[in-house]
Amino acid sequence: MPASSNKATRGPTMQNALKKFEEWGIRRRSERNRRNAERRRRLASTLGIEDADAALDLSTLQMGEMVGQGGFSIVYLCRLVDGRDAVAKVIKGGLSPSDTLLLRNEIAIWSRLSHPNLLSFIGTALGTDTCAIICEYCSGGSLYERHRQNLQLGKPPLGRDALVGQLVQVARGMEYLHSLRPHPVLHRDLKSHNILVAHDGRLVVADFGLARFHVTANAAEMTAETGSYRWMAPEVIRHEPYDERCDVYSFGVLGWEMVTYSIPFLHQTPVQV
């Protein structure tokens, strides 16, 4: 009888202990989820992302190989939950105020763009400590890479009709940027490195990290010497007011690249050019 009494006493006590442990675990997970959600909201606010709840969850992405990196990001191939292949531009920690401003600007502009000849913005993905910009995956690489490969293989540049067809695609994407209202967008870094080849052969303009809305009243306040020197319009280098025509100059250099697999004035320094 005493033994049975002890068992009866231990049973409810163990059940109570397990119940309390489970409740503690639930509270702990709930608190952790709350803290993570708050950190996501703060990160979203810092980057100018209006709806943190609408952003993708960074932890759900299947990250693949690293394909490049920039000043404040590392670029990976990835697969989304719906099975689509994409590219994730994962932001490094410890951004400076100036880098944060550049990133906010890139997201603000790129997320508003939609054109077949512009690299598609899919969304932002938030983690607890970092975020990523998710965009279309272009399996054909960049025009710059194609030019180098063709040059090494001794392949001639495209014929006139094919060349004009490709230039028209780039021009259409740029025309869309310059036609946006109330303020057109200046790309400011148009070059073969930033022209990608999509899986269906489309050319798309990429990299909106230096893009800016062009407000006419503030033309004189646009940052000088922005972009890549050999593709940069003279007025940008000379710290003069500039507008959409700075992209037109870069488009001309891009055309030269596509015809010759080179860039003009190679015997001069970028600033001399």
Whole-number Å distance between alpha carbons of 211 and 186: 5
Reply yes or no on whether 189 is catalytic: yes
Three-class SS state of 204: strand
**Number of C-alpha atoms within 13 angstroms, CB side, residue 137?**
16
User: Which distant-in-sequence residues (6+ apart) come within 8 Å of 154 by Cβ?
Assistant: none
Catalytic residue selected from 57, 82, 189, 200? 189
Partners of 77 in beta bridges: 87
Decide: helix, strand or coil at residue 91: strand
CB 129 within 8 A of CB 93: yes
- The amino acid at 21: F
Quick one: angle between helices 143-153 and 245-260, nearest 10? Answer: 20
* Residue 119 DSSP one-character state: P
Q: Pick the closest to residue 237 from 203, 261, 270 (CA basis).
A: 270
Residues assigned a catalytic role: 189
